[in-house]
Structure 1
Amino acid sequence: MSRAETAGPGEKAGTAESSAAAAPPPTPRPFGSPGLFRLPGLFRLPGLFRSELTLTFRRWRSLALLGVLAAVPVLIGVAVKIETSDGGGVGGGGAPDGGAGVAFVSQITNNGLFLVFAALAATLPFFLPMAVGVVAGDSVAGEASAGTLRYLLVAPAGRARLLLVKFAAVMAFCLVATLTVALSALAVGALLFPVGDVTTISGVPVPFVEGLWRAALIAAVVAGSLMGLAAIGLFVSTLTSSGIAAMATTVGLLITVQILQSVPQLDAVHPYLFTHHWMSFADLMREPLLWDGVLRNLGLQAAYAAVFGSAAWARFTTRDITS
């Protein structure tokens, strides 16, 4: 009979331990594989951001909002074409802001590029911010209502990083939504009206290429103008587990601020409302470019983003996630 068969329990245990000690060490996993070396958070962020962008832009709601935004320049262009088909001018009664909007609409028949500026002026007061409010309000609350938020937090992302990615995805939607309006307007304007050298609202002509550059700059400024609303929507989204409630609250706050902006008796508070300097982008169609209003607008948006972004971080990092 062999020693292994006659050995007692203690001897068997000792034999097993010695065999385990003599066994060769496991082969190390490749660097970056799951469960061994974790890449720093900075390198995980792009992958998480790509995932969030995919989620944002694959939703039918987001695609429907972009479709509505793309249709607005078409409606404006067709309306102007019909109104001026008999050789008459463009009426200014329905202009977006009563100032720069009138100047932009009245120039569409002379240069189709002005349809870009007119469409942005028409969509910025309501259509663009409404779309952003819906996406921002649903960013966190939608995950909670679907029951996927706690699974996101199980991943090694961290609450602060996840919130930052959510905000970045909303800002990406702001840019895509603005470009959707601008590109749709550019295509319709070039199709229905002549294009060429651009006469600024100061009366100074500039080359068409510079006009295109200014259009791109204005689109970027308009997207930046929605930063404050995006931060407000993100904060509201951390307060509830109902995506519908968060979206409705964000859009309701937008409408309330727009009403306050239209009350003359509240002139003292108007400069502090995030909507007050939205139309300052018209100064970029002057010659020379006027930056004062644009910088005040972007500074105000950054202040709103800092305040409500901090509030969202404080709420989200201390919130008890149960769904």
Structure 2
Amino acid sequence: MSRAEVVDVSKGDGGEPRAPRALWTLGLFRSELMITFRRWRTLALLGVLAAVPVLVGVAVKIETSDGSTVGGGGEGGGPAFIAQITNNGLFLVFTALAATLPFFLPMAIGVVAGDAIAGEANAGTLRYLLVAPAGRTRLLLVKYATTLTFCLVATLVVAVSALATGALLFPLGEVTTISGTRIGFGEGLWRALLIALVVAASLVGVAALGLFVSTLTSSGIAAMATTVGLLITVQILDQIPQLDALHPYFFSHYWLSFADLMREPVYWDDLIKNLQMQGLYAAVFGSAAWARFGAKDIMA
């Protein structure tokens, strides 16, 4: 569906409204999804994300081919999961998500979100989109919903690629939790899905931040670069001990709390704090994006 077709579904032959606005919004949302996921840039990002679990799995397989074990690391993070991959390929899902969450996943989200409005302005299609009877608020919500959909799809691509690679290279079976208890493979698979959903939800704040940056400029490249730069800067600040008092307010601080889903019983405190922080960032930067976009002078 082209941009012109999206606009036309809400008009009759005489130009009067023909379909409910909800139907028009669904049409626009479907169009945005098709446009986003047909771009070579988007496919390349998803390809890179799918390749990360394969590379990790192959590296672990090669390293342990002589019977040695992978060195373990800190509790609850990627290294702790890496040490268990050879015993259960399902742990490759947790390791891959821990490896991609600090940089690869938020970078991909930053690229898509940063280009949402600025890319349309740069291509000269933003003004044309606003001719349709959606209004700026509805268009902004559709852009954000599309970005959130990409968050979910990107996370699931990593998880599915990791699960397939883990099943091919390593045995599957009962899962030993971080607490030392054992759960069945079915429950372990369910927790893997839940972890993927939590990781996707952890990117909600990044998506809102990128969308806000996208409303500040008419250059898609500048918006994407600025968003990715902010992501890197925040994570660097999150590692500086002197800023310890500020760390809980950074959107990336609780990202790896998803590992608490592999405890028995599940430790919910940091998970809830993470979701609350993402909701706060979404509310703040979503409101800022709405205020900026509502007052933006569309010249092209």
Q: TM-score, normalised on structure 2?
A: 0.94
The 1-side partners of 2:217 and 2:137 are apart by 18
Work out which of the residue numbers 70, 81, 96 in structure 2 matches 1:119. Answer: 96
Q: Which moved more, 1:40-49 or 1:219-228?
A: 40-49
Q: CA deviation at 1:102?
A: 2.0
- Structure 1 residues 117-162: Cα deviation after superposition (integer angstroms, max 9, x where no partner): 0000000000100110011000100000011000000011110000
Equivalent position SS for 2:171 = coil
Q: CA deviation at 1:44?
A: 1.9
With over 3 angstroms needed to count, the CA separation of the structure-2 counterparts of 1:186 and 1:40, relative to structure 1, is same
Work out which of the residue numbers 67, 71, 83 in structure 2 matches 1:91. Answer: 71
Equivalent position SS for 1:322 = coil
Alignment correspondent of 2:108: 131
Work out which of the residue numbers 176, 193, 212 in structure 2 matches 1:216. Answer: 193
Work out which of the residue numbers 122, 129, 153 in structure 2 matches 1:145. Answer: 122
- Structure 1 residues 235-264: Cα deviation after superposition (integer angstroms, max 9, x where no partner): 000000000000000000001001101101
The 1-side partners of 2:130 and 2:199 are apart by 33
Work out which of the residue numbers 33, 36, 46 in structure 1 matches 2:26. Answer: 46
Alignment correspondent of 2:224: 247
Alignment correspondent of 2:47: 67
The 2-side partners of 1:127 and 1:102 are apart by 17
The 1-side partners of 2:108 and 2:17 are apart by 41
Equivalent position SS for 2:81 = helix
Q: CA deviation at 1:37?
A: 4.0
With over 3 angstroms needed to count, the CA separation of the structure-2 counterparts of 1:138 and 1:214, relative to structure 1, is same
Work out which of the residue numbers 173, 183, 204 in structure 2 matches 1:227. Answer: 204
Larger radius of gyration: 1
Structure 1: which 4+ aligned runs deviate by more than 3 Å?
31-34, 36-40
Equivalent position SS for 2:85 = coil
With over 3 angstroms needed to count, the CA separation of the structure-2 counterparts of 1:317 and 1:226, relative to structure 1, is same
The 2-side partners of 1:223 and 1:160 are apart by 24
Verify the 8 A CA contact 2:76 2:178 in the aligned structure 1: no
The 1-side partners of 2:270 and 2:18 are apart by 46
The 2-side partners of 1:197 and 1:149 are apart by 52
Q: Which moved more, 1:37-46 or 1:69-78?
A: 37-46
Q: TM-score, normalised on structure 1?
A: 0.87
The 1-side partners of 2:245 and 2:277 are apart by 16
The 2-side partners of 1:178 and 1:248 are apart by 21
Work out which of the residue numbers 285, 288, 293 in structure 2 matches 1:308. Answer: 285
The 2-side partners of 1:118 and 1:179 are apart by 14
Q: CA deviation at 1:98?
A: 6.7
Alignment correspondent of 1:80: 60
Verify the 8 A CA contact 2:76 2:260 in the aligned structure 1: no
The 1-side partners of 2:107 and 2:123 are apart by 22
Matched, 1:298 2:278: no
Q: CA RMSD in A?
A: 1.4
The 1-side partners of 2:76 and 2:43 are apart by 32
Q: Which amino acid aligns with 2:62?
A: I
The 2-side partners of 1:217 and 1:98 are apart by 20
The 1-side partners of 2:271 and 2:18 are apart by 43
Verify the 8 A CA contact 2:113 2:211 in the aligned structure 1: yes
- State how many pairs are aligned: 290
- Structure 1 residues 55-113: Cα deviation after superposition (integer angstroms, max 9, x where no partner): 11011001000000000000100010011111111024xx6x77422221111000000
The 2-side partners of 1:322 and 1:45 are apart by 24
Q: CA deviation at 1:288?
A: 1.1
The 2-side partners of 1:248 and 1:51 are apart by 25
Alignment correspondent of 2:259: 282
